[in-house]
Amino acid sequence: MHKDVKEIFITEDEIVAKSKELALQIDKDYEGKSVVLVGLLKGSIPFMAELAKHLQTDVTFDYMNVSSYDGTESKTLVVKQDLQEEIAGKHILIVEDILDTGKTLKNVKDMLVARHALSVKIVTLLDKEEGRVFDMKADYYGFKIPNAFVIGYGLDFNERYRQLPYIGILKEECYK
Ligand code: IMP
């Protein structure tokens, strides 16, 4: 275990097993269709890779880098890097590491719907339901977690710990 991690919350084996389960469900729901997986940078990279390994569905990858600022205003999304593909008429599955207040996903989903995607769904590895401020639900989620700050498997604290192969809790001295 990494020296800064207090506790492993979700193990790598559990994440792999859950990704397989989610992939089966997604394959069933998108049977015969092509899907653009839209990963939100940077946190979605490990989960998107794991999930995609188990998909039979015809998928392409695209990425978007957005940041949403603090506050209760919902329209404060800045697109730092946009998608490469034109998405009108395509099925979009947004892949995210964690759904917390719902602000990021709400803004991104609205934006992709406005670009005339044929459908826009969301798959998130983690769902912090207690943190929700905006009305947003994931179509698929891996794990519901309590309102704690977690790191690993793409999730960072000041850009660190994204590489950890599990979801963990940081030691207090690392963020105080
Ligand atoms: P939302 O827009 O509030 O739903 O937040 C989503 C974003 O907040 C995620 O993509 C993460 O970058 C960040 N975030 C929320 N909770 C955590 C956490 O526990 N650890 C690390 N990042 C988090």
Q: Given the DSSP bridges, would you call strands 167-170 and 5-10 parallel, antiparallel or unpaired?
A: antiparallel
| Sequence-ordered list of residues with C-beta below 8 angstroms from that of 50, at least 6 positions apart, any chain | 15, 16, 19
Please give the residue range of the domain that contains residue 105.
13-145
Examine residue 116 and state whether it is found in any structural domain, yes or no: yes
Q: Tens digits of per-residue pLDDT, 88-136?
A: 999 999 999 999 999 999 999 999 999 999 999 999 999 999 999 999 9
Examine residue 166 and state whether it is found in any structural domain, yes or no: no
State the Cα–Cα distance between residues 31 and 125, nearest whole angstrom: 22
pLDDT band, residue 175 (cuts 50/70/90)? confident
Ligand 1 cavity residues, CB under 6 Å: 43, 68, 97-104, 149-151, 155
Amino acid (1-letter code) at residue 39: G
Counted domains in the chain: 1
Is residue 74 pLDDT above 80, yes or no?
no
| Pocket residue to mutate for ligand 1, from 98, 126, 136, 169, most atoms within 8 A of Cβ | 98
Is residue 72 pLDDT above 90, yes or no?
no
Examine residue 128 and state whether it is found in any structural domain, yes or no: yes
State the Cα–Cα distance between residues 95 and 125, nearest whole angstrom: 8
Is residue 71 pLDDT above 60, yes or no?
no
Is residue 69 pLDDT above 70, yes or no?
no
Ligand 1: residue whose CA is nearest its atom 8: 100
Ligand 1: residue whose CA is nearest its atom 19: 149
User: How far does CA 130 lie from the centroid of its chain?
Assistant: 17
Alpha helices in the chain (DSSP H): 12-29, 45-53, 103-114
User: What is the atom index within ligand 1 of the atom nearest the CA of 128?
Assistant: 16
Examine residue 155 and state whether it is found in any structural domain, yes or no: no
> What is the percent of the chain with per-residue pLDDT over 70, rounded to a whole number?
96
- Out of 4, 62, 97, 100, the active site residue is 100
| CATH code of 70's domain | 3.40.50.2020
Examine residue 6 and state whether it is found in any structural domain, yes or no: no
What's the gap in Å between 127 CA and the centre of ligand 1?
10
Examine residue 5 and state whether it is found in any structural domain, yes or no: no
HSE value, Cβ hemisphere, 13 Å, CA-based, for 152? 20
Examine residue 82 and state whether it is found in any structural domain, yes or no: yes
Q: Residues 58-82: what's their mean pLDDT? A: 82
Examine residue 59 and state whether it is found in any structural domain, yes or no: yes
Assessment of whether the complete model's pTM goes beyond 0.85: yes
pLDDT band, residue 176 (cuts 50/70/90)? confident
Ligand 1: residue whose CA is nearest its atom 22: 155
